[in-house]
Amino acid sequence: MRIASSSMMRNIDNYVIDKIGMPSIVLMENACIEALKKIDLEKEYYVIICGPGNNGGDGFAIARHLYNLGKDVDVYIYSNKKEDGFKGDARTNFNILKHINIPYMFIEDEKRDLWILKESLCDSDIVIDALFGTGFIGKNNELLFNIIESINSYSDKVISIDVPSGLNSDTGEIFNSCVIANRTITFQCMKRGFLNYRAFKYIGEVDVVDIGIPEFVEEKFESLEYILDYNKAKKLIPIRQKTGYKGNYGRVLIVAGSLGFTGAAILTSEAAISSGSGLVSLTSHKESLEVLVPRLREIMSVDIDRLENEVKKSSVVAIGPGLGDTKETYKILLKVIKVMQEEGKEDSFLIIDADGLNVLKGRTEILKHLNFNVIITPHLGEMARLTGLSIEEISNNRIDIARNFAKENNLTVVLKGYNTVITDGNKVYINTTGSSSMAQGGMGDVLTGIISAFAGQKLNGLDAACLAVYIHGYIGDILSKEKYTVKASEIISNIPKYLKKISFNQEKQ
């Protein structure tokens, strides 16, 4: 599924209308019919609040369909010029609404009209917000402010059409006030602004509905930004051949763990094994290995003094979990980079997480111009240290900051958090699996292990990261249906089961 800015959607619409010859009224009708499929039609009383533009036109058309289904419908309209404010398709749908006698009222008077609106909102089963869509550019208007505040204060359930009114669909910023929707039904593509943390309060559950725009038109204007979904993940899962042996599935070296943090090393290593790695070795400080060795079964242990030789033998090196934010960790990272650079294997990978990232603060220049693949997995705090930006700056512009950092440093970034951003500096994928039930220590270590395993199974950096992030969150979502919280070890134990389950259909094709 593609992610779109308002300008991209405008270009798509214009191309379909001007070049293909599809009338805009057809697109509007398609949009309304598809939106109707996402609206609970078991209810009886619907209040629809429309603006003067095409979003209002969508609202008029939805009102007509609900009315024709025998529903009780009231339409309230915000338009400074009343009927003279409607143009094109909005005008057409308003005229239809008027001629079939659907009740409507223009909101003009601050007290009288708003009082009537509030009464209807209180009585309604569902309120449909069709005030403003992607073309909204912010209006500092007291009446509009009060309409939106009334919707938020007096409505039981609100559905926004395309965009919650008052939300910038590109940035997620709020103009003065914004409708708080329980559900947003948006057209054709996910809107970029919906993926900003600031927008989550307002958009509710999001449904993206197809309004009949041909695939090749989307491709013509796409910005290489996508929602990572089940079908994409399914196609990425490596198929294990009948004649395969452990050497076919990657040799992963985990450099992790210090006294007090040996659990991170265990979780990372076991996640790699569970995700299909052929061989996994764990190297750590001598005192850490003394604690770790009795807990290792399928994982080989290697003293840190043999690091250089182990790096040479490995196709993937993952460094950082529980290693410690110390000078020694930085020296180890430099040594790993030096050996991998000298080996010059273009298909090898370095995965950097946790303390491996912390020691790179102010030193990211060493990541540029490497002759092997690098994947970094920062959360917001680690990304702030790497970039010198504040957490707030990053959270408000995650896609562009992650993409630019990946491009400048020639690597793949996995910017972790709600709606994790995965990018190689060109394409961007946003993951929507996972939830706060997974907000526990060790989850990042598990993700690093999964990424390492898929990188070792011949996926490129972007694909390995995408598949790992999706599976990690997918399993968490399934387990959280029956559990209040999900432990990192529970993710690990379920990886083989759900990789097999998801890949089953792929094998049958």
Is 115 within a domain? Answer: yes
Same domain as 303, residue 198 = no
Q: What confidence tens digit (pLDDT) does each residue in 21-43 have?
A: 999 999 999 999 999 999 999 99
**Mean pLDDT across the stretch 353-380?**
97
| CA 147 – CA 169 distance, rounded (Å) | 20
Same domain as 235, residue 141 = no
**Mean pLDDT across the stretch 141-165?**
96
Same domain as 236, residue 205 = no
- We report the CATH number of the domain holding residue 242 as 3.40.1190.20
Is 367 within a domain? Answer: yes
Same domain as 277, residue 181 = no
Same domain as 237, residue 167 = no
Beta bridge partners of 493: none
Q: Which helix (H) or strand (E) holds 317?
A: strand 316-319
Output the pLDDT for position 2.
96
- DSSP characters over 91-116: HHHHHHHHHTT--EEE---TTHHHHH
Instruction: Determine how many CB atoms are found less than 10 A away from the CB of residue 112.
Output: 10
Same domain as 279, residue 134 = no
Is pLDDT above 60 for 507? no
CA 389, 393, 395 angle in degrees (round to 5)? 115
pLDDT band, very low/low/confident/very high, at 134 (cuts 50, 70, 90): confident
Is pLDDT above 50 for 392? yes
pLDDT band, very low/low/confident/very high, at 504 (cuts 50, 70, 90): confident
| CA 498 – CA 440 distance, rounded (Å) | 21
Same domain as 23, residue 161 = yes
Same domain as 263, residue 176 = no
Is 488 within a domain? Answer: no
Q: What confidence tens digit (pLDDT) does each residue in 246-304 have?
A: 989 999 999 999 988 899 999 999 999 999 999 999 999 888 878 887 787 888 898 89
Is 266 within a domain? Answer: yes
Output the pLDDT for position 117.
97
Same domain as 321, residue 215 = no
Is pLDDT above 80 for 139? no
Is 290 within a domain? Answer: yes
Output the pLDDT for position 200.
93
| CA 380 – CA 361 distance, rounded (Å) | 14
Is pLDDT above 90 for 85? no
pLDDT-above-70 percentage for the chain: 98
Output the pLDDT for position 79.
87
Q: Number of folded domains in the chain?
A: 2
Is 153 within a domain? Answer: yes
Q: What confidence tens digit (pLDDT) does each residue in 189-207 have?
A: 999 999 998 999 999 999 9
Same domain as 262, residue 183 = no
**Mean pLDDT across the stretch 108-127?**
94
Is 166 within a domain? Answer: yes
Print the domain residue range for 181: 3-223
42: left (phi over 0), alpha (psi -120 to 50) or beta: alpha
Closest to 55 (Cα-Cα) out of 167, 157, 145, 151 = 167
Please name the amino acid found at residue 416: K
**Domain boundary residue among 223, 256, 287?**
223
pLDDT band, very low/low/confident/very high, at 475 (cuts 50, 70, 90): very high
**Domain boundary residue among 174, 206, 223?**
223
Strands 428-431 vs 421-423: parallel, antiparallel or unpaired: antiparallel
Is pLDDT above 50 for 509? no
Is pLDDT above 70 for 11? yes
Output the pLDDT for position 141.
85
Output the pLDDT for position 506.
52
Same domain as 186, residue 287 = no
**Domain boundary residue among 199, 223, 247?**
223
Q: Which helix (H) or strand (E) holds 387?
A: helix 380-387
- We report the CATH number of the domain holding residue 161 as 3.40.50.10260
Is pLDDT above 90 for 309? yes
Output the pLDDT for position 508.
44
Same domain as 144, residue 20 = yes
Lowest mean pLDDT among 82-91, 373-382, 491-500: 82-91
Is 295 within a domain? Answer: yes
